[in-house]
Amino acid sequence: MNYLLGIDIGTTSVKTLLITTEGEIVNSSVIEYPISTPYPCWAEQNPQDWWNATVVSIKNVAKNIDTTKILGVGLSGQMHGSVFLDKENKILRPCILWCDQRTAKECEFITEKIGKKKLIELASNPALTGFTVGKILWVKNNEPETYNKIHKVLLPKDYIRFCLTGEYATEVSDASGTLLFDVKKRKWSEEMLKLLDIPLSWMPDCFESHQITGKVNKEAAKLTGLVEGTPVVGGGGDQAAQAVGSGIVEPGIISITIGTSGVVFAFSETPEVDPEGRIHTFCHAVEGKWHVMGVMLSAGGSLRWFRDNLGQDEVKIAYEKKVDPYEILLEGIDKIPSGSEGLIFLPYLSGERTPHADPYARGVFFGLTLKHTKKHMVKSVLEGVSFGLRDSLEIIKNLGIRVHQVRISGGGAKSKIWCQILADIINTEIVTITPTEGAALGVALLAGVGTKVYPKIEDACKKIIKITGSVKPDKNNVEKYEKYYQIYCSLYHSVKETFKKL
């Protein structure tokens, strides 16, 4: 029996997945690591933590199998993070993560220097605080000694690639999120790099997602138990990889992912660009294809924040009952009326990206009264996140991209009540799929294409991914949520300037 390995370097943990070439899940392992927040709205991680966790997770999934039968490895990871290496390949500083908001001034500089319209022409996207380029310029402006030592800038998953293979490489879907990439031509933008005085030599070689980028080297083989010479393919940024793992590889099918962030992802045959830059246009992990994507920064992250800070009692009960804390937290919220009796949550705990692109935006509970309970607040969090996801879906539809099926994935997909709320708010049937392994599955399948197990990724997805169920919108709730959605949309504009004053 032959195997494929998928590794996803997430924001809070690494997930490693081992599957057979027939798509059967053999084993998986999740190893967590910390996030550092030295200042408000900053977010950093030590790349060495990712590698240490990856080594353990690979050992965990492969301990009882013949590793000579692992045909290929695929890599996925959180996008936009910046790993700075010197000439000796030493890490120069902690990685600045995708959700970090410190680069507002750098983004303003980029937009002013290049021009908003020209920027979208060159990179298909506006300058946003999450993107890699702002982080590079922030280091230049604030840590010049570090900046002067930079030899390579790698994305999170590509640092793990370097650890596995010794190669500096990336692929088109992840590179699209740096703002230094010509998305339409699928290569580094020399014009962008020149305008911002960033050396092209700092950028790794770029491949299509299924292409082999290197092979497991002797040192990595010794640490992980993998066989030296095992091929490692390009893989994908977490959202493109998640989409492959959900079968979003043909027109008309979109995915909504509720993880730490929330993503609405639509396949596109051509690079469709929003002139206002409200959603992203990136290269897909499918060769020669693109995708449009709306991203909210605190989706499942909003519920996790609530759990960690206001749900200690529920966590304690869950521990005693040996169940998931979210199960206790969400218990009974189906009895709360749709709209949480006038309580609306704005999920901007880390600023926001789609549709507002505002690093100054903040979270808000609006409409609190003596009537409201903790259960009302929990439900309003689920509703607020769902309203934010609808924002992205509306923009995608307005670009003329057709939608005939919505597939849901991520941690939020495990909640039946959240799926129902989302279906009611977007007024669209939502389907669930199996397997539900997301990005790690997606890159394992890409490894299968790169090693000739499957002829192309579309074939792999049709063979492996199946629909398991659906949630249809409740017409009564649809009407109620439509009214609340209009109020939700108006709230941001009412407090936009006040956010910035904070």
% residues pLDDT > 90 (the chain): 92
Question: Hey, which bits of 218-283 come out as E strands?
Answer: 231-233, 236-237, 253-258, 262-268, 280-283
Helix (H, G, I), strand (E, B) or coil at 276: coil
Give yes or no for a contact between 113 and 195, defined as CB atoms under 8 angstroms apart: yes
**Would the pLDDT of 154 be above 90?**
yes
- Tell me which DSSP letter residue 495 carries: H
Beta bridge partners of 262: 258, 296
Mean pLDDT in residue range 358-374: 96
Residue 293: φ, ψ to 5°: -150, 125
Q: Helices (DSSP H) in 282-398: which residue ranges?
A: 300-310, 312-321, 325-330, 374-398
Domains 3-246+436-466 and 294-432+471-501 share a fold: yes
Q: What are the structural domain ranges in the chain?
A: 3-246+436-466, 294-432+471-501
* DSSP line for 68-96: GGEEEEEEEE-SS-BEEE-TT--B-SPEE
Terminal alpha carbon distance of the chain: 59
Of 238, 274, 358, 424, catalytic: 238
Determine the length of the chain: 502
Name the DSSP letter for residue 341. Answer: G
How sure is the predictor about 159, in pLDDT bands with cuts at 50, 70 and 90? very high
- Tell me, what's the pLDDT at 259? 85
C-alpha pair distances (Å), 397 with each of 106, 254, 485: 31, 11, 17
pLDDT tier for residue 357 given thresholds of 50, 70 and 90: confident
Q: Are 496 and 358 in contact (CB under 8 A)?
A: yes
Q: What is the pLDDT of residue 349?
A: 95
Give the pLDDT confidence score for residue 170 in this predicted structure: 98
Residue 260 has pLDDT above 90, yes or no: no
* 125-141: average pLDDT: 96
254, 328, 376, 479, 486 from 339: Cα distances, Å: 26, 21, 9, 11, 12
> Picking from 223-232, 239-248, 379-388, which range would have the lowest pLDDT averaged per residue?
239-248
Structure tokens at 39: 């200042």
Q: How would you classify the pairing of strands 344-346 and 364-366?
A: antiparallel
Check whether 402 has a pLDDT greater than 90: no
Quickly name the fold that domain 294-432+471-501 has: Nucleotidyltransferase; domain 5 (3.30.420)
CB 499 within 8 A of CB 104: no
Q: Report helix angle 416-426 to 475-501, nearest 10.
A: 90
> In this structure, what is the dihedral angle of CA atoms 146, 148, 151, 155, given to the nearest 10 degrees?
50
pLDDT at 37: 93
Pairing status of strand 290-296 against strand 262-268: antiparallel
State the Cα–Cα distance between residues 234 and 449, nearest whole angstrom. 11
Does the pLDDT value for residue 498 go beyond 90?
A: yes
Distance CA(41)–CA(82), nearest Å, equals: 16
What would the two tokens of residue 73 be? 């490895």
pLDDT at 452 over 90: yes
pLDDT at 41: 85
- Average pLDDT over all residues of the chain: 96
The residues near 322 (Cβ < 8 Å, ≥ 6 apart) are none
Question: pLDDT value at position 336?
Answer: 98
Average pLDDT over residues 461-475: 95
pLDDT at 404: 87
* CATH architecture of residue range(s) 3-246+436-466: 2-Layer Sandwich (3.30)
pLDDT for position 409: 86
Encode burial over 480-493: b for 16+ CB neighbours within 10 A, e otherwise: ebeebbeebeebbe
Q: Calculate the alpha carbon distances from 143 to 26, 159, 178, 421 in Å.
A: 45, 21, 20, 45
Q: What is the pLDDT of residue 55?
A: 98
Q: Predicted confidence band at 410 (pLDDT cuts at 50, 70, 90)?
A: confident
Which pLDDT tens digit goes with each residue over 1-13?
A: 999 999 999 999 9
- 359 pLDDT band (50/70/90 cuts)? confident
- What would the mean pLDDT of 190-212 be, rounded to a whole number? 98
Helix (H, G, I), strand (E, B) or coil at 308: helix
Q: Is the pLDDT of residue 470 over 90?
A: yes
pLDDT at 33 over 90: yes
Annotated catalytic residue 238? yes
Give the amino acid at 239: Q
Are 297 and 355 in contact by the 8 Å Cβ rule? The answer is: no
Q: How confident is the model at residue 453 (pLDDT cuts 50, 70, 90)?
A: very high
Query: Which of 14, 25, 33, 27 is CA-nearest to residue 60?
Result: 27
| pLDDT score for 411 | 87
